[in-house]
């Protein structure tokens, strides 16, 4: 779930950056870009840590 959340926020950030780079009007301000990128990064870290914890629990059971 967190990985999907991270993907969604990063995709929104990327689309905004690509629109701005192509000369179009960005729909997020610089602050909101930072918030979206931070949220995507945090969600990705949570997803990785949860997956590592699950793998460790699985290995500890064996």
52 pLDDT exceeds 90? yes
Percent of the chain with pLDDT over 70: 98
Residue 56 has pLDDT above 70, yes or no: yes
Question: Average pLDDT in the 20-39 region?
Answer: 92
CA pair distance 18, 55, nearest whole angstrom: 36
Q: Hunting for tokens 């991270």 — which residue is that?
A: 6
Contacts of 25 (CB under 8 A, 6+ apart): 19
**Predicted TM-score (pTM) of this structure:** 0.83
**Among candidate residues 38, 9, 12, 10, the one with its CA nearest the CA of residue 26:** 12
Q: Please tell me the distance from the alpha carbon of residue 35 to that of residue 23, in angstroms, as a whole number.
A: 22
């Amino acid at each position: 779930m967190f990985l999907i959340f991270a993907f969604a926020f990063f995709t929104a950030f990327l689309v905004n950056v690509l629109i701005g780079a192509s000369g179009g009007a960005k729909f997020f301000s610089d602050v909101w870009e930072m918030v979206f990128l931070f949220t995507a990064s945090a969600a990705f870290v949570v997803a990785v840590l949860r997956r590592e914890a699950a793998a460790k629990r699985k290995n500890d059971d064996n």
